[in-house]
Every structure is written in structure tokens, then in C-alpha cells.
Amino acid sequence: MIRRKINKEPAYDTEYIQCDCLCSIVAITRFLDESEISLSVYDKPGNETLWWRIRKAWRLLRTGTPDTQSVLLDHDEAIRLRDTVSTMIKAMEANDGNKQ
């Protein structure tokens, strides 16, 4: 039997970002009592087999999350990710400015 401790106070803060093609969602989770950030990718259900759906349901019941891919970042790696995304956004904005 799986028992979970349920906290009345949230231990994390999560932001969800949906893919432009509507096929996936990225969850960015910050754990309030730790210095780590988790990135998880949730796939949108599609034409999956019954066996795949059963496996997904079992994972959800067992772990509490349906995510299939997850990355855990410490403080330094989170800053590196932020800087990389910021640089890419600036490049995208520069390209958009050149098109006009």
C-alpha cells in the first residue's frame, strides 16, 4: 500500500507552459525548501494503445505525476538555463525587428 504525506502548506510552486503545437506542456517547479528547480514534460494524450494508457495510469497512481521526462536543476544550472533562454529570446526579437 502506498501512503503519501499530504502537506497543508504547499512545498513547491509550479508554472505550466503549453507548447505552440498543443502537443505537450512543460512544468517548471521550484521547491520552496530546496535550491533546485524541476522541468517536466507532459505529453498530450493521443492515439495511444490501451496498454500505454494503463501504464500511464499506473504511473500516475504510483508517483502522483504523469510526467515522462524530468530534469532537476541546481541553482547554477537554473541560472545557466535562464541566461540561455534570455539570449535566445533576444536573438528572436532581433530577427523579428529585421523582418519589419
Look at residue 69 and tell me if it is in a domain.
yes
Q: How big is the CA angle at 14 (ends 50 and 26), to the nearest 5 degrees? A: 50
Look at residue 29 and tell me if it is in a domain.
yes
- For the cut 50, the answer to whether the pLDDT of residue 3 exceeds it is no
pLDDT value at residue 26: 84
pLDDT value at residue 10: 66
Q: Binning pLDDT at 50, 70 and 90, where does residue 95 land?
A: confident
Number of domains in the chain: 1
What is the residue range of 20's domain? 12-74
Look at residue 20 and tell me if it is in a domain.
yes
Grid coordinates of 81: 538555463
H/E run at residue 12: strand 12-18
Look at residue 46 and tell me if it is in a domain.
yes
Q: Which amino acid is at 67?
A: D
Under 8 Å between Cβ of 40 and 66: no
Q: Which amino acid is at 16?
A: Y
Q: 54-91, pLDDT tens digit by residue?
A: 887 888 888 776 656 778 888 899 899 999 989 888 88
Q: 9-61, pLDDT tens digit by residue?
A: 667 788 888 888 777 788 888 887 788 888 888 777 676 788 878 887 888 88
Q: Which amino acid is at 57?
A: A
Cα atoms in the Cβ-side hemisphere of radius 13 Å centred on 21: 4
Q: Binning pLDDT at 50, 70 and 90, where does residue 1 land?
A: very low
d(CA 89, CA 78): 16
Look at residue 41 and tell me if it is in a domain.
yes
pTM score:
0.59
Look at residue 64 and tell me if it is in a domain.
yes
